């Protein structure tokens, strides 16, 4: 299975999807001009991964900021992860960033996944 390894930029998050090493992470800032186009390969990868997932899948979200268009696609990513048995979401947020903490809590109410919240 191909590895997705995208370096983050000012308006796009860093993304690592590496089945072999068990690394699944989206971090940084997410405000791409074409959110659907940016996230579609990620959604396709997760769908393919879901056909033969690792015994455990810890997916890390370590976002500093995301726009409204990205929030819809983040929800799509989380919804795709619902189909993977035992998937756990590690939701990181900066100390005192109540908005990002609340965003994670709201996402956790919308999907049937285990969320673990980590302050950093």
The C-alpha atoms of residue 83 and residue 112 are separated, in whole angstroms, by: 9
Overall average pLDDT of the 85-91 stretch: 97
- Rounded to whole angstroms, how far apart are CA atoms 58 and 87? 6
Bridge partners of 30? 66
Let me know how many helices (H) and strands (E) the chain has, helices first. 3, 6
In this prediction, residues 4-12 reach a mean pLDDT of 97
Contact 115, 107 (CB under 8 A): yes
The two structure tokens encoding residue 3: 């590895």
pLDDT of 14:
98
Domains, the chain: 4-119 (3.30.750)
Predicted TM-score (pTM) of this structure: 0.96
The H or E element that residue 70 is part of is helix 68-81
Please write the tens of the pLDDT for every residue from 32-85. 999 999 999 999 999 999 999 999 999 999 999 999 999 999 999 999 999 999
CB 105 within 8 A of CB 81: no
């Amino acid at each position: 299975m191909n590895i997705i390894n995208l370096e983050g930029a000012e308006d796009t998050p860093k993304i690592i999807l590496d089945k072999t090493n068990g690394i699944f992470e989206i971090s940084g800032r997410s405000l791409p001009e074409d959110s659907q186009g940016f996230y579609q390969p990620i959604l396709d990868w997760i769908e393919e991964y879901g056909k033969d997932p690792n015994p455990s899948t810890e997916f890390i979200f370590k976002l500093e900021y995301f726009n409204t268009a990205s929030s819809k696609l983040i929800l799509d990513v989380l919804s795709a992860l619902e189909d993977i048995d035992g998937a756990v979401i590690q939701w990181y947020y900066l100390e005192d960033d109540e908005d990002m903490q609340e965003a994670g809590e709201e996402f956790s109410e919308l999907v049937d996944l285990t969320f673990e919240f980590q302050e950093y």
